[in-house]
Structure formats: structure tokens, C-alpha cells
Amino acid sequence: MPIELSGLLYLAAAGLFIVGLKRLSSPATARSGNRLASIGMLVAVVVTLLDQGVIEYVWVAAGLVIGGAIGVLLARRVAMTGMPELVAAFNGFGGGASALVAGAAFLLGGTGGAVTALTLGLSVVIGSVTFTGSFVAFGKLSGRVSGGPVHYPGQRYADPVILAGTLGVLAWFMISGDLLEFWILLGLSLLVGVIRVLPIGGGDMPVVIAFLNSLSGVAASMAGFAIESSVLIISGALVGASGLILTNIMVKAMNRTLMDVLIGGFGGDSTGGDGSDTGDRTVRRTSADDLAIVLAYAQSVIVVPGYGLAVAQAQHALRELADLLADRDVDVKYAIHPVAGRMPGHMNVLLAEADVSYDRLYDLEDINSDFAHTDVALVVGANDVVNPSARDDATSPIYGMPILDVDRARTCVVVKRSLSPGFAGIDNPLFYKENTLMFFADAKGAIEDLVREVRTA
């Protein structure tokens, strides 16, 4: 294939990626967008296979078949609750592949100058950090590694040395272009990924996955610089930008900064305060039959699902309840906090799986003003994201975090096992407010009881 033609087809592939991503701006067109992007990928791969530089097909074919089979298996098997782990693993594979491409390109052709050495080196560094970092994140998310922050002795002093050492070796490799420095660089980068993600607590994982997502794109871009492929540079840059935007959204929603998260030590770690001390405050309890009446005779209900809902696998029962209420002409909406799930947009996927219509799902900014004229806010399995301290108490550690204003609804109902604090480890004054009713129960059992009671109400 003449080089002009393959160049044009690569450009077409990059164009399809952009159009595909653009179609993700609405759930109605998103699926076709994903298909367009996958067609773009197919075009790029076929063009590459026809490249005159490709003369050895057996190994390539073997790799494609094995990788394809594993990919299909993983994509089919994963439960929607396991999506964060899967995306973490995919990030890792992508980053690892970019590092390996740079390695192989170096072994084949050397560096040919400081500039290429730098791009090769960066591809190895970013790709390797993404690789090991993602698999540590995968371990934490799937419960194979402790979810809490893990430190090794002397980390405070050793980490800066290791980071500086990695940059030093990168500079050394730029000048020398030797194999030895290449291996040292690879080893150090793999180590950095492990030691930088281990200290990050489970609660911060949404930020970490989004950030690693960005890095996997940047690694692909750097590999593109190294092997002079513009389709790699473009696609990598798109993903890099996407991951950065998501990282930023998550960081803001959690009231953190990226630096805080990367330095680690929060999330899963108790930061003081305890929920057991109710003092002289009173809690108003409710039961399924009373609550069913409240819900059935309400005009408007906003459901606020949290991750506890998904853990209890109660989203299907919740949809059933919402359908029953809708049959009684109750206006039911869902308010989704950006960190309601374990990754950006996770709760929306879980509710979509339970067959909730996507036009019933509202983002924080779009629905917050509605609470004030809503009869019932039904909070299921969420805690910190509805804690009014974040809005009202300047001394609270979560002060400034955007929350859903459920306390402004006429009645706020919280379905929760106990008064224990959430991820941030702080007390929630919402539970003691006059217009709050506590329904102490497991989310799934509670919703199923409600479904039964509403049927007869």
C-alpha cells in the first residue's frame, strides 16, 4: 500500500475516533459512536497489517488471536459492579503495551538521537507506571489487596529518592542511549507505579482510575512520538484529555486536589469523629408500612442511590418500587452524585442495568434546586454525599464538597443499617434533623418490604 494511502486511512481512523467520542454526548447516539470508533480501530489495524514493513505474520496473528479471546472473555464475564476493576485492568494492559512497543522499537533500531531517546524513555516510564499502578488499583478494587492505604517503612524518604532517580536515569538514557540504562529505567518505572498507588485509599480509587486512564492515553501518544505515527499521537491525546477531565471532575466532587490524592493516606482510613455518639439528639425511626404510606401519597419523590445500594444488589427492587410509585402518578426521579458509584458514572450504569430509563437520572447540578419542592427524598445506601456539614459547617473535614440537598425536601428518608459514618469517617447531622426519618435495615430487604407495602397501600 502506498504510504500516502495508508496515511489517509490512518487519518480516517483518527477522524472516526473523534466522531465516535462526539456521539457519546447523548445516550441515544452513544452506542453508534462506540461502533464508529471500533470501525476506526479496525481500519487502523488492517492498514498496519498491509504495511510493507510488516513481513512476519505468524507472531502477529498469534498475538491478535490470544489477546482478542481474552478481551472477549473479560468483556462478557464482568458484572456491572465489577466495572471499575475491569477498566483498571484495561488501563494497565494499554499502558503496558505502550511501554513494550517502545522497548521493542528501541531494541530494533536504537534511539537515533536524544529526542527519540526522550520519547522512547517517556513512553516506557508512563506506560510502566500505568501498567503496575493499574494492577495495584485492580487489586484494591477487587479486594485482592487491602483497600486501605498501604505504606512501607521509610516511604516518606525513599519515595522522593526513587522518583528523582527515575528522572535522573531518563536523562542519562537520553544522553547515552544504552541498553543498561533502558533496563534500569524500566525497572524503576514499574516500581514507581506500585509504590505510588499502594498508599492511596480505596475511597480515592475513582480519581486514581481516571488518572491512570489519562496516563494510558499519554503513554500511547509518547509511543507515537517514538515510532513517528500520527494516529497514535492523536488517539493518545484524545484519551489523555478525556482522562484528565474525568480526574478533575472526580477530584472536585470529592473535595480533594489531585496532589492530595496522589500523596495518599485518606479514604478507608478513619480520620476521627465517630457516629456512635448521638449525644442527646433524637432519631426518628420509621417502618416499612408507615414509609409506604408516605411514599404512595407523595406527589414527588427523588431517590438518592449510593454505593451501598449496589453492594446490596438492591437496584432491581428499587426500580420495581419506582415503577409502582409511577403507576400511582408519583413523579419519581433519581439524583446521582458524581461519586455515587466506585468510578465516574458507575451508578448510572448500575441503574441502566436495572432498566431505569436514563431520562429519569439527574446530575447534581440539574436536580439540587428541586429538593426544596419535593415531598420525599429517599436516600438508599448513601451517606457522605448527603451530609449537610459539607455545606453548613466550615469546621467539617468535608466542608466545601458538593452534596445533594436532601435535607431541603419536605421529608427525607434514609435507608441505612445503622448510624455509622461513611467513607470520610465523620458524623452525619442529617440523621438527627426534624424532617428526617431513619429506616434501619439492609437496603435490599428494606426496598423489597416497601414494594410489598406499597402494593397494598
Partner 1 sequence: MTLIVSLTVFVLASFVGFEVITKVPPTLHTPLMSGSNAISGITLVGAVLVTGAGGSSTLATVLGVIAVVFATINVVGGFLVTDRMLEMFKKHR
Active site residues: 384
Q: What H or E segment, with its residue span, contains residue 416? A: strand 411-416
Q: Directed axis angle between helix 315-327 and helix 346-353, to 10°? A: 70
Q: Do the Cβ atoms of 316 and 331 come closer than 8 Å?
A: no
The residues, ordered by sequence, that sit 6+ positions from 441 with a Cβ below 8 Å of its Cβ are 288, 415, 417, 449
Closer to partner 1 by CB, 14 or 314: give it: 14
Least separation in angstroms between CB 268 and partner 1: 22
Helical spans, DSSP H, in 78-113: 83-109
Q: What H or E segment, with its residue span, contains residue 379? A: strand 376-380
Beta bridge partners of 436: 412
Closer to partner 1 by CB, 80 or 162: give it: 80
Cell of 160: 522522593
Closer to partner 1 by CB, 74 or 162: give it: 74
Closer to partner 1 by CB, 150 or 244: give it: 244
424: helix, strand or coil: coil
Q: Do the Cβ atoms of 302 and 431 come closer than 8 Å?
A: no
Closer to partner 1 by CB, 43 or 412: give it: 43
The residue count of the chain comes to: 457
Cα angle vertex 50, ends 45, 52, to 5°? Answer: 125
Q: How far apart are CA 400 and CA 384, in angstroms?
A: 12
Least separation in angstroms between CB 355 and partner 1: 7
Least separation in angstroms between CB 342 and partner 1: 10
Least separation in angstroms between CB 403 and partner 1: 16
Q: Do the Cβ atoms of 338 and 249 come closer than 8 Å?
A: yes
Q: Do the Cβ atoms of 408 and 275 come closer than 8 Å?
A: no
Least separation in angstroms between CB 127 and partner 1: 8
Closer to partner 1 by CB, 66 or 293: give it: 66
Count of C-beta atoms within a 10 Å radius of residue 118: 18
Count of C-beta atoms within a 10 Å radius of residue 208: 30
Q: Counting beta carbons within 10 angstroms of the beta carbon of residue 17, is it exposed (0 to 12), middle (13 to 18) or buried (19 or more)?
A: buried
Least separation in angstroms between CB 54 and partner 1: 3
Least separation in angstroms between CB 138 and partner 1: 13
Closer to partner 1 by CB, 73 or 161: give it: 73
Which amino acid, one-letter code, is at 41? M
